[in-house]
Structure 1
């Protein structure tokens, strides 16, 4: 595929991921977080099932457990953290904080598997954490939304790490469909236990609600995941991952355009720092690849 077309697909994926934040915040006006996400993921997973029937499926209980674990982190924990965060902070701030996932990927890779990274990549980690601090107006606010969004970034980093180590065991379409569906089922189970589940149809805003639900199921889940997996498999993953810094940029700008959220200088400055940190983290190369001969290609996913 030509470079311009691959670039278009990459930016398209980042734009959709950024737009998911303000659209998700709109959805919270007529539904509770777990109910909304269960509808999104169960709906998208069921729509994908007919297209993966003939593709190779996991054959062992251990393989299904790995797939379920990825679904727990990637779909359930990441997205529930993001949606819970947007109940108390702006969609732009949530996009910035949760997009710190490549930074957490480096941290968890080092702590869990002992993978050694170059000094430049650790500089990216430090710069990313500085960006997180700056986005809070140079002071750590104890709002629950801050911690939910940061927790989403941590879960996202762990999901990426697990996907990178286990992903080659599965067909990409099968993996995407089942991790989405499993995550949706887990959220559906968790809803009555962790929230007061509700979903309200407002006849005066029925078109807006249908658009938001359609976006969540048809755009946020299926084309976004499929396009991103396609880009990763048909281009240099390290170069593709550099574009991940566009997610918080698009998230902040779309929150401003769609929801009229205020653009604070410190949010923009923190976004730039986190973006630069992600860029440095995704620079190829490690100090000691013999420590872990497994070459991690699919470093990051999308929301």
Structure 2
């Protein structure tokens, strides 16, 4: 019974993560990317505050700095890249490109920390990169959205690497709440510098717009975090991590169902290659020679005992 509950929670987390892409694209119709994300993360962080006040907090300035850096990458750069990308490319393509983060994770852990991986994991990197090229029809696309989404995947890999290094030092709930708050404040401060701040509610579309905002705060951030945290606490994080390949699949399908985005054959093939690459990257076996685990996901869930992040 417990295994079924874990599987249901895992699939729920991946489904919500995939749905976040078309929901985010809908939100862009009534707000600019940085303002929308600031509302999401500050709102979620404030709602979590009453539940974490009595939990252990960092005491040193260096610890708060580490949480701030995680917030900059995880809630700031990753999600800003995703939302900016959806201004010029489909939500499905954005979900595929940004979901390359587990691949970038092992690249950076090797380059920065000298972590050694097995051949099958490097094969996963190559297959994943081939999938990225395939989603673009093996052509160099100059749309800004392509580079924003790919940059989000790169930043996501770095964020996960930092979280895997530092996350065990802090209470997961405390770090999640504060990194969202810090990331939200950074995005709000950057808005007038990097975009034309905009947030408007249309009375004729008020119900839909409030639903989207509520989804971003309650589902994309809080519910998704709580569910994924439960999965990581009650299962093998390495096995749960394999399900990350479902995020771009759910992103593609939800973009097609909700927004009517076209499903090109080469995009589906590329998504399959990226998913296969992620499976290879997370293939069970001997752990790397350093104390770093392969991790993925939203940028709001810190690693815990070698876990992953959910989108």
State TM-score, norm by structure 2.
0.94
Aligned-partner Cα distance in 2 for 1:116–1:188: 39
Q: Which runs of 5+ in 1 are unaligned?
A: none
Q: Report if aligned partners of 1:102, 1:299 keep a CA contact under 8 Å in 2.
A: no
Q: Which residue of 2 aligns with 1:283?
A: 283
Q: Aligned residue pairs: how many? A: 301
Q: 2: distance between equivalents of 1:157 and 1:136?
A: 21
Distance 2:231 2:247 in 1: 16
Q: Is the 8 A contact 2:16 2:219 kept in 1?
A: yes
Deviation, 1:295, is 5.6
Over 3 Å counting, the alpha-carbon distance change for 1:295 and 1:216 in structure 2 is: closer
Q: Partners in 1 of 2:174 and 2:291 — Cα distance?
A: 26
Separation in structure 1 between the aligned mates of residue 282 and residue 29 of structure 2, nearest angstrom: 36
Match of 2:309 in 1: 301
Q: 2:237–2:308: 8 Å Cα contact kept in structure 1?
A: no
| 1:287 shift after superposition | 7.1
The verdict on how the C-alpha distance between 1:288 and 1:199 changes in structure 2, with shifts beyond 3 A counting, is closer
Q: Deviations over 1:100-123 (max 9, x none)?
A: 000000100000000000000000
The answer on whether the counterparts of 1:102 and 1:300 sit within 8 Å (CA) in structure 2 is: no
Q: Does residue 63 of structure 2 align to residue 71 of structure 1?
A: no
CA distance in 1, matches of 2:112, 2:225: 27
- Give the deviation of 1:142 after TM superposition: 1.0
Give CA deviations for 1:169-228 in whole Å, capped at 9, x if unaligned: 110110111111111010000001100001111011000100000000010000111211
The residue aligned with 1:220 is 220
Change (3 A) 1:212 1:120: same
- The unaligned stretches of length 5 or more in structure 2 are 295-304
3-state SS of paired residue (1:158):
helix
Other structure's SS at 1:140 match: coil
Aligned to 2:162: 162
Alignment map for 1:14-163 (pairs within 5 Å): 14-163=14-163
Superposition RMSD in Å: 1.2
Name the SS of the counterpart of 2:139 in structure 1: coil
CA contact (8 A) 2:71 2:180 kept: yes
Conservation of the 8 A alpha-carbon contact between 2:22 and 2:255: yes
Q: Secondary structure at the match of 1:301?
A: coil
Q: Compared with structure 1, are the counterparts of its residues 47 and 126 closer, same or farther at alpha carbon in structure 2 (3 Å cutoff)?
A: same
Distance 1:215 1:133 in 2: 32
